[in-house]
Structure 1
Amino acid sequence: MKDPTVVDALTIETRGGTLVVSLRGPWTLQTVLAVDGPARALADRPAEAVTVDATSVSRLDSAGAWVIQRTVAQFRRRGVPVAMVGLDEGLQAILDKAAEYDPSAEVAPAPTSSWLDFLERLGRHTLEGLHTGRNLLGLLGVVVVAAGRIVGRPTRLRGTAVVAQIEATGVTALPIVGLLCFLVGVVLAYMGALQLTRFGAANLTVNLVGISVLREIGILLTAIIVAGRSGSAFAAQIGTMKVNQEIDALETMGMSVIDVLVLPRVIALIIVLPALTVFADVAGIAGGAMVCLFQLDMSVGQFLAQLSAGVTIWSFVTGLIKAPVFALAIALVGCHSGLGVSGSAESVGRQTTRAVVESIFLVIILNAIFAVAFAKIGI
């Protein structure tokens, strides 16, 4: 007896106690959209046995194979034996590889509370952060070992690569570092002068600019600029080399990626960042001096006298101490992100962005740690 519920690709007949399901034509995504309803309704049909006749199936894709698997699984869960007949050997391979129907799977994810979603994201990002921190510590250890080998054999150091990185990360960064720090010094002095003049303490603007620039603004702003320029460049350069399989070629030739790519960048940035910090300090104080000379009618001698009286050598040294640590952090994060590229252009962009965000975040965290430590020891 033929079932009245028939579509072109699916015919349902009952022969005795056996339900015969005949499949015809191409069973692709377009066909599945038409037969999905009748196929789902088969689960409620009474039957002692089921025969799926696929002799007339001409084509099969993953969507069609999944619907067939789902239909078969529905009957077998009820204990009804199912026999598949007539399917071409090549199409049978597609059916065998199709994911089996999971009755517990939801069509849409179950609704959850926003609070649980927040906790889940927080936990996932925390674990990712800890994993990244562990990898950075591992890379730091490898770099320290490589640097120790160079101390024993200085000829292993690639001097040309170090000089090239010094030029790329330091010399070319001078204009942007000097301009931004000069403008920040101008703004800092101008805003400070507006407030301090109200209390008759306009001369303390010099102290404000000197201490702020030398202790915090100079090194912090320089480190952020270097992280944006050089940290991203390290990630992009090494990541592109990994995509182009140049790193695999280096390893095939027996060359160490750490010695060739990572160590020259680390050494160059450790040399460059303190020098850039001194340049940034000078530019920032020059910006503050310009405001004091024109806004507060100070002479150059008065400005220098007030600066030497209000700012100690430790204000300059504390900023300079941070520079090598920040440089090491930026270089490690940039190189780690570049080595973490998975092999596609999209991954290069993602890891480059990640290098900038992580290095700036790490610089700010380290700066806060330094501030607390210097306050504890009275510097």
Structure 2
Amino acid sequence: MTNAQPPLPSEARTAPPGGPEWSLDVHDTTMVLYVGGNWNSRSDDIPVFDTEHLNGGTPCKSCVIDTQALGRWDSGFISFLWDVKQKVAAAQLELDDSALPPAARNLLSLLPQKAVEVAADYKKPLPFFEKVGDKTLQTLEETGTLTDLGIQTVKGTLQALRGKSRMRVKDLATDIWNAGPSALLIVGIVNFLIGAILAFVGLIELRRFAAEIYVANLVGIACAREISAIMTAIIMAGRTGGAYAARISTMQANEEIDALQVFGIPVSTYILLPSILSLSVMMPVLYVYGTLIAILGGFVVSMTMMSTSAIGYWVTTINGVSLHEFVFGFVKAFFFAGYIGLTSCRVGLKAGRSAADVGIAATRAVVIGIVGIIAMDAVFAVIAKVLDF
């Protein structure tokens, strides 16, 4: 508050030009606090309200503030009044501030009777079993939240197919472009190099057994069944998943998510559904594209190190890689996409509201996505072994 002369009652006396002063007087069951002078926080002479009259042994039931001699005041006067308010409340007395200037009375009413105690930053570490139990409960809670989010996504997809969804087609088209055609270059380069590396390593080893031609089977089966799906998913987790988390956490920081909820617009349908659906649609397509590019990379390396004809290499690849290998990789790519979309959006919704939290959310989404993809691939390997697929 700036130094300003507050309005005074018509019967108020002219305040002396001196510094801030206060005194305390007792009249029967009423304690009167007289304040006068100019209360300027810049002068560093604001007195402290420290009196022994409030410490028991007094028949007073209330404390009245008299401001007839009050001059100019600013935030220093409010600070003094808050000190008075706290100590009067601690002495179980009623504070009558009706004589205060309206502005001062309004400001004082905003302050509590007791200062809020700030908790210490240090927290005693939990015992081992309590920490394990706490982490387990948090994991189960997040699993339930992700499951619910996935169910809402499926329901939103069914509603979109019936034309009853609030999802905007423009948002879906934009996300499909960002998750598909925009990622072709990076997916193609990585898978081409992976296929070339596999062919190079395979040729070196198979040459010892005079079985160089089987490098076509090695590259084709490895890329179609495992490597292309995993590498494409890792690329999309770092590229698209991180972008989803950063975008949603930025909306959280700008309070756009709160605005949608206030207007009754479901976030799961309006924001999350286009992101998850576009990634689920484009990831299998990118997997097929990446597998073909990886096989092409193996073909290029093989042609520079082998004497086999190009037609012979492609015939060996077609005969050695069956269709069910592509089906298995296609299904894995679809589940990888759903996992990346759900976890990235969930991380974005859980992010804080500062600029630093945006970067933290993006990093966390990438890490969770990559680790989860590797874990899911291990589960798929066990399932394939059990089903003899």
Q: Same fold (TM over 0.5)?
A: yes
Q: Take 2:324 and 2:164, find their aligned partners in 1: how far apart are those partners?
A: 34
Query: Are 2:225 and 2:328, in contact at CA under 8 Å, matched by a contact in 1?
Result: yes
Query: Are 2:176 and 2:279, in contact at CA under 8 Å, matched by a contact in 1?
Result: yes
Which of 232, 239, 242 is 2:249 aligned to? 239
Q: Which moved more, 1:277-286 or 1:152-161?
A: 152-161
Work out whether 1:259 is the aligned partner of 2:277.
no
Identity %: 34
Q: Which moved more, 1:330-339 or 1:129-138?
A: 129-138
Please report how far the alpha carbon of residue 120 of structure 1 lies from its aligned counterpart in structure 2 after TM superposition: 6.5
Q: Take 2:178 and 2:366, find their aligned partners in 1: how far apart are those partners?
A: 17
Q: Take 1:59 and 1:301, find their aligned partners in 2: how far apart are those partners?
A: 97
Which of 156, 164, 168 is 1:158 aligned to? 168
Which blocks of at least 5 consecutive residues in structure 2 are unaligned? 1-45, 58-79, 91-113
Which residue is 2:212 aligned to?
A: 202
Tell me which amino acid in the other structure corresponds to 2:177.
E
Pick the structure with greater CA Rg. 2
Which of 115, 119, 127 is 1:97 aligned to? 115
Q: Take 2:362 and 2:123, find their aligned partners in 1: how far apart are those partners?
A: 34
Deviations 1:91-123 (A, max 9, x none): 36399536599xxx9x9969x9xxx76x66655
Q: Take 1:190 and 1:59, find their aligned partners in 2: how far apart are those partners?
A: 85
Which of 126, 130, 144 is 1:134 aligned to? 144
Which residue is 1:180 aligned to?
A: 190
Which of 334, 339, 342 is 2:352 aligned to? 342
Work out whether 1:326 is the aligned partner of 2:330.
no
Please report how far the alpha carbon of residue 353 of structure 1 lies from its aligned counterpart in structure 2 after TM superposition: 1.5
- Correspondences of 1:1-379 after superposition (within 5 Å): 58=48, 90-91=82-83, 93=86, 96-97=114-115, 99=117, 124-153=134-163, 156-379=166-389
CA change 1:301–1:108 in 2 (3 A) is: closer
Please report how far the alpha carbon of residue 155 of structure 1 lies from its aligned counterpart in structure 2 after TM superposition: 6.4
TM-score by length of 2: 0.68
Tell me which amino acid in the other structure corresponds to 2:210.
G
CA change 1:108–1:160 in 2 (3 A) is: closer
TM-score by length of 1: 0.69
Q: Take 2:185 and 2:135, find their aligned partners in 1: how far apart are those partners?
A: 37
CA change 1:161–1:108 in 2 (3 A) is: closer
Q: Take 1:206 and 1:371, find their aligned partners in 2: how far apart are those partners?
A: 22
Tell me which amino acid in the other structure corresponds to 1:218.
S
CA change 1:296–1:332 in 2 (3 A) is: same
CA change 1:291–1:251 in 2 (3 A) is: same
Please report how far the alpha carbon of residue 59 of structure 1 lies from its aligned counterpart in structure 2 after TM superposition: 9.9
CA change 1:176–1:89 in 2 (3 A) is: same
May I ask how many residue pairs the two structures share in their alignment? 294
Query: Are 2:195 and 2:297, in contact at CA under 8 Å, matched by a contact in 1?
Result: yes
Q: Take 2:147 and 2:130, find their aligned partners in 1: how far apart are those partners?
A: 26
Deviations 1:271-318 (A, max 9, x none): 110111011001110111111111122211111121122211111111
Query: Are 2:187 and 2:290, in contact at CA under 8 Å, matched by a contact in 1?
Result: yes
Quote the RMSD (CA, aligned, Å).
Answer: 3.2
CA change 1:155–1:123 in 2 (3 A) is: closer
Deviations 1:207-248 (A, max 9, x none): 111110000011110001001111111111111111111122
CA change 1:183–1:252 in 2 (3 A) is: same
The runs of 4+ residues in structure 1 deviating greater than 6 Å are 107-110
Please report how far the alpha carbon of residue 269 of structure 1 lies from its aligned counterpart in structure 2 after TM superposition: 0.8
Q: Secondary structure at the match of 1:97?
A: coil
Please report how far the alpha carbon of residue 172 of structure 1 lies from its aligned counterpart in structure 2 after TM superposition: 1.1
